Amino acid sequence: MKILVTVKRVPDTAAEKRLDPADKTLDRESVETILNPVDEYAVEEALRLKEQHGGEVVVLCMGPSSALATVRKALSMGPDAAVHVHDDALHGSCAFNTAKVLQAAIRQVEPDIVLCGSESTDARTSLVPSALAEYLGWPGLTGAKQLEVDGATVRVHRETENGYDVVEADGPAVVSVVKGINEPRYPSFKGIMAAKSKPVTDYTLADLGVDPGEVGTAGATTEVVDFAPRPPRQAGQQVKDPGDGSAAVELAEFLAGHKFI
């Protein structure tokens, strides 16, 4: 089985993120970057599928040349090879442009299944996996907290608000996984060393036959009109409980005053 995992480079979770005033896109250069945390679960799930069914795991990342570090980080967990799509024209791509480009790369790799994270911590839109499924014309099984491949059938437990739905389709399919589906392995020292020499195929838009005018800032389907930092919240009233819980009465008073009770 050929398993492809999409991984994204995102700003470090603790880093202060800001928009570049010049072109109103996320300033990704001024901050530390990491592998999107949820994508580690997708990589782990891919490795487990390979352990069960045999085959190979290919990592796919669209991002600037500097995202190679993210690709290597993913490879250090154990995948066999990677595809890195980078092209200056991709700067400022929207979720749909991204999905279009990922789709074109996926068609080159011809996997039996595509695994994505459920959302990226910077954009947090969760649009890419479904858009990708649509462009590929494959079933999209999102929000998986369990995944099973059984012959041609791909089956997931899809998280709902009070439990889960068992959803299945015939592969090839796009599956997005949620945090907690597994316990991602830590890269071993050997894995980190091995990752340095694993094959990484570089694609430009021309290699993929994607028109640069369709992607990046030029082809983005959405645009930022303006942005502003949100005014910081002010600390309000604070009361100290004398030790018997009676401050609860004041809190209840506050809640009643704001019509919550």
Ligand X SMILES: Nc1ncnc2c1ncn2[C@@H]1O[C@H](COP(=O)(O)O)[C@@H](O)[C@H]1O
Q: Does 17 bind ligand FAD (CB under 6 A)?
A: no
Stretch in the footprint of other proteins (CB under 8 A) among 64-72, 108-116, 131-139, 193-201: 131-139
Residues in a beta bridge with 85: 62, 203
Cα 157 from chain centroid?
Answer: 19
Query: CB-based burial of residue 234 (10 Å sphere; 0-12 exposed, 13-18 middle, 19+ buried)?
Result: exposed
Q: Which residues of 97-115 are buried (b: 16+ CB within 10 A; e: fewer)?
A: bbbbbbbbbbeeeebbbbb
From the list 146, 173, 142, 168, the residue with the least C-alpha distance to 157 is: 146
DSSP state of 89: G
Binding mask 76-105 for other proteins (x = CB under 8 A): ------------------xxx--x------
Based on CB atoms, which residue is closest to other proteins, 66 or 153?
153
- 175-234: which residues touch other proteins (CB under 8 A)? 178-180, 220-230, 233
- 35-54: which residues touch other proteins (CB under 8 A)? 37-38
Based on CB atoms, which residue is closest to ligand X, 76 or 97?
97
Based on CB atoms, which residue is closest to ligand X, 15 or 247?
15
Q: How far is CA 48 from CA 41, 113, 127, 182, in A?
A: 11, 13, 25, 10
Contact residues for ligand X, defined by CB under 6 A: 6-8, 36, 38-39, 42, 60-63, 95, 98, 102, 116-117, 119-120, 123-129
Nearest distance from C-beta of residue 217 to ligand X, angstroms: 15
Contact residues for ligand FAD, defined by CB under 6 A? 13, 37
